[in-house]
């Protein structure tokens, strides 16, 4: 699916395939409130939009577009979205643990612990 969108005066044509390809190269940042699901992974909408803009050769700071701009584009492309507060406690806990992957170690070896955790 392809969508034509205007972000702060810049007209773009974006496809869902381009977004999926981009998402494979990104490590999701922490989610504050809203998220977009691409290939089973949750991303902050502004992170994805910033990536799309760079991919299209547009240099634009995140301060210049809104979460609503990003949300509008990605939901039009058919990507599921949600709010962090609506996730159940287990899902929020798993998101928090994933942020720490490779940083802390339960048994003394962070790499081995993370490999066991994600098996």
Per-residue pLDDT tens for 80-89? Answer: 998 877 666 6
pLDDT in tens, 67-119: 999 999 999 999 999 887 766 666 767 666 666 666 655 565 666 655 665 55
> Long-range contacts of range 26-32, CB-CB < 8 Å, 24 or more positions apart?
26/51, 30/99, 31/84, 31/95, 32/84
pLDDT in the model for residue 83: 86
Same domain, 8 and 43: yes
State the total domains in the chain. 2
Reported pTM: 0.72
Same domain assignment for residues 81 and 119: no
Does residue 93 sit in the same domain as residue 63? Answer: no
Residues 55 and 29 in one domain: yes
Answer yes or no: do 101 and 81 share one domain.
no
Residues 81 and 93 grouped into a single domain: no
| Per-residue confidence band for 32, with pLDDT thresholds at 50, 70 and 90 | confident
Host domain of residue 7: 2-86
């Amino acid at each position: 699916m392809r969508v034509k969108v205007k972000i702060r005066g810049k007209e773009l044509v974006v496809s869902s395939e381009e977004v999926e390809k981009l998402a494979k190269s990104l490590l999701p940042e922490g989610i504050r409130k809203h998220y977009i699901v691409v290939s089973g992974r949750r991303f902050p909408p502004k992170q994805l939009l910033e990536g799309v803009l760079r991919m299209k050769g547009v240099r634009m700071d995140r301060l210049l577009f809104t979460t609503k701009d990003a949300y509008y584009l990605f939901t039009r492309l058919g990507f599921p979205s949600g709010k962090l507060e609506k996730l159940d406690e287990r899902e929020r806990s798993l998101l928090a643990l994933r942020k720490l992957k490779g940083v802390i170690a339960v048994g003394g070896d962070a790499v081995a612990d993370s490999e066991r955790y994600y098996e």
